[in-house]
Structure 1
């Protein structure tokens, strides 16, 4: 008997669970499954899951693209700063330091009140890229 397809919500939940177990290929597959279902309202979340999975696999170029697409999809969204930080960190890991610092600069100017874990990630990324 054929198995019923997962809903986008179930695929995302499974992908997040895989990500927390550091099963990056499974997280990537779940994200791509949701993205393949064109028009899903969960596409934005799937793009983030894909970016995080690529980052976890050290696929810096693919992670930078996915984080950049997530940012472009919702530049004023609640996760826009997170997308830019991921984008900048991926670029830093590709030794594209000037571009990484530019991305981090956008975060600093658009989100001056950043706190907690995101602020720590921003600071670590800026240090890694050697930003002034």
Structure 2
């Protein structure tokens, strides 16, 4: 059976992008995220913005990562992934030395989302330490 032709679905592109991110292939992860974002904005747009932010963090493009995470957060503040978007934003702030903004973002995250999944809560604690929040 021949492989399917035509563009990847958003789900396939995101899965490929996550795999690339896991391998440290940040350029491929970024390309997959941008492919989804360039297509019609749909329910996976926030996932694509978060993937884009993670890829840009990996490439040390902290300002662009901050923009991607902020856009992901603003797309849907009620989603289950919104806390991850704020966490990514705070990590981007740490990346370019904006510690106060990183800590303020973490404070916003923990006040808006009081029930974080344990892995996310641990990542918040780790970022707090890296940002040297009071």
Structure-1-length-normalised TM-score:
0.90
Alignment of 1:1-132 (within 5 A): 4-132=6-134
Q: Larger deviation: 119-128 or 69-78?
A: 119-128
In the alignment, the residues of structure 2 paired with residue 107 and residue 39 of structure 1 have an alpha-carbon distance, to the nearest angstrom, of 25
How much does 1:115 deviate?
4.1
Runs (4+) off by over 6 Å: none
- Partners of 1:5 and 1:111 lie apart in 2 by 36
User: What is the CA distance between 1:128 and its match in structure 2?
Assistant: 1.5
Shift of 1:56: 1.5
The Cα shift of 1:102 comes to: 0.8
How far, CA to CA, are the matches of 1:55 and 1:86 in structure 2? 8
RMSD of aligned C-alpha atoms?
1.4
* Number of corresponding residues: 130
Paired residue secondary structure (2:79):
coil
Task: In structure 1, list runs of 5 or more residues that go unmatched.
Answer: none
Structure 2, gaps ≥5 residues long = none
What is the TM-score with the length of structure 2 in the denominator? 0.89
